[in-house]
Amino acid sequence: MEPGGLEWLLVPMQRLVSWGAAGAMVFGGVVPYIPQYRDIRRTQNAEGFSTYVCLVLLVANILRILFWFGRRFESPLLWQSIIMIITMLLMLKLCTEIRVSNELNVKRRSFAAADSKDEEIKAPPKRSYLDFDLNYFWHWSKFTDYLQCVLMFTGVTGYITYLWLDSSLFVETLGFLAVFTEAMLGVPQLYRNYQNRSTEGMSIKMVLMWTSGDTFKTVYFILNQAPFQFSICGLLQVFVDIAILLQVYLYSHYPQKPVSHAAHPASTKAL
């Protein structure tokens, strides 16, 4: 059979593989969070998951979308960022609702000015619009507070991007910040585990999926001679993932003494 006779079969197969790869790129990033989301719903306990992971991914993907306006990259990567933002907002909503329901006596914390019902009846303190304790940043009591913060960040960075969109240096820097921020994804969970001296409540499946996905992505960057910073940030992600897996091994085989809640009051709250 002549080579040309196989074209009718090879072309559809190539398209099918291309569509499959695009679909994996769009939805593959959110797959690791499905078992974590289900575990949190099942146990009604969000202590093992650091919501700063959501913050890192929200910032990284918002910056990546803004980078797209300066340098158009593949549309699957753009849709991946959109899907990831929606996923992280859903994770934040679930974690906030569960944490607040488990901390009924904790003082309400807000990103914006609090409602009167959230303050003490006697001599309520004066509040400004952005009167929030930095110690409780990203640890607010309502999902709407997180949403307001995300919208404000998007508005400010979007306006700055609009003003500097013609600067190639700014656009390249924006792209680097998006990639580097995503490379820091596992750091909040790494710190959370160290703070608790335990990995209890964290989805091991999520970390294994992180590791396999980041390894595949990094190898792809290297083999396809992607920009140098992409490969470096990819390797950094893999190292952080391996460090978390080492924590799982160490804390399971060599249990650490629990951190005193009295000495570290913030340890009772998910990051």
Looking at the domain assignment, is residue 203 inside a domain?
yes
Section 253-265 average pLDDT? 53
Determine whether 269 is exposed, middle or buried from the number of CB atoms within 10 Å of its CB (0-12, 13-18, 19+). middle
Q: 28: helix, coil or strand?
A: helix
* Domain total in the chain: 1
Looking at the domain assignment, is residue 129 inside a domain?
no
One DSSP character per residue, 169-181 reads: HHHHHHHHHHHHH
Residue pLDDT, tens place only, 88-117: 999 999 999 998 887 765 555 666 554 444
pTM for the model stands at 0.71
Looking at the domain assignment, is residue 145 inside a domain?
yes
Looking at the domain assignment, is residue 121 inside a domain?
no
Looking at the domain assignment, is residue 62 inside a domain?
yes
Give the domain range for residue 176.
12-107+140-253
Flag whether pLDDT at 219 surpasses 80.
no
Looking at the domain assignment, is residue 267 inside a domain?
no
- What is the pLDDT at residue 262? 38
Looking at the domain assignment, is residue 6 inside a domain?
no
Looking at the domain assignment, is residue 3 inside a domain?
no
Residue pLDDT, tens place only, 74-86: 777 788 889 999 9
